[in-house]
Amino acid sequence: MVDIVIIGAGMSGLVCAQQLHQAGYKVLVVEKSRGLGGRVATRRLHETCADRGTCYLNPKDELLQRFVELLAQQDILQIWTDTTHEFDASLQQLKVRRRSPIYTAAKGMSAIARFLATGLEIQLNQRVVGISTVAENWCLQLESTNATTQITAKAVVVAIPAPQALTLLEPIAVSHEFLANLRSVEFAPCISVIAGYPSMQSNFDWQAVTVVNDDNLAWIGLDSSKRAEK
């Protein structure tokens, strides 16, 4: 038995796990995917990488600023740019938008998740398919590629998207109001496209472009500008 099982190894799950671990609890993180970070995802291919989830961090509050400073001290994050561009599709115009510095990871944004996972017990490729109560404890049924197992814990933290959480929590005695709040969460569909080109001299004078007045395109990033020159 463990003290606390955290379902989901995304950023919220890993931060929660680290805080509980540092407070002295025996924590286990279970994740259905083969990698860490959830939407902080990096794709590796052709001897390079590209971020296909969260592409940068723009700290606007004190807690996130402190976290970014910690990651910068560990050489995980560095300033990517303090200048972004905006493309107005209706006017076909590109203009400069200056703001506070935004940070990115040269080794891919998933490096943040790997840093947060330090010292944690994590089981990957483990999908939680059921939650039940046994006496005063929680019993989690896990399904992996090999078999179905069970884990017993004193407490459970559900750190996964609302639709997935709803599937797990509906069968147990959870308040109707709470379930209604989960059902009310809506997600907008999004497709992340990664395009690679042969090495060539870049003539781009931008790193990131926000697109407005376009129903299909929202953002473009030049991922190679995050990497150190070889």
- Structural domains of the chain, with CATH: 2-55+109-187 (3.50.50.60)
Query: What is the pTM (predicted TM-score) of this model?
Result: 0.89
The answer for residues whose C-beta is within 8 angstroms of residue 11's C-beta and 6 or more apart is 37, 38, 39, 40, 112, 113, 116
203-225 b/e (C-beta count within 10 Å ≥ 16 → b) = eeebbbbebeeeeeeeeebebee
- Whole-angstrom Cα distance, residue 127 to residue 148? 9
Q: What is the pLDDT of residue 49?
A: 84
Q: What is the pLDDT of residue 188?
A: 84
Q: What is the pLDDT of residue 145?
A: 66
Q: What is the DSSP letter of 61?
A: S
The answer for residues whose C-beta is within 8 angstroms of residue 25's C-beta and 6 or more apart is 3, 4
Residue with tokens 């560095």: 78
Residue with tokens 């080794």: 107
pLDDT tens, the chain, 230 aa long? 899 999 999 999 999 999 999 999 999 999 999 999 999 989 887 777 889 889 999 998 999 999 999 999 999 999 999 888 999 999 999 999 877 899 999 999 999 999 999 999 999 999 999 999 888 899 999 987 666 789 999 999 999 999 999 999 999 877 899 999 999 999 888 888 888 877 655 667 788 899 999 999 999 988 888 886 54
Pairing of strands 127-134, 137-143: antiparallel
Phi, psi (rounded to 5 degrees) for 78? -150, 165
Tokens linked to 29: 């993180």
Q: What is the pLDDT of residue 60?
A: 87
Residue with tokens 């931008």: 206
Amino acid at 39: R
- Whole-angstrom Cα distance, residue 98 to residue 84? 6
Q: What is the pLDDT of residue 199?
A: 66
Strand-pair partners of 42: 51
Amino acid at 5: V
Q: What is the pLDDT of residue 164?
A: 93
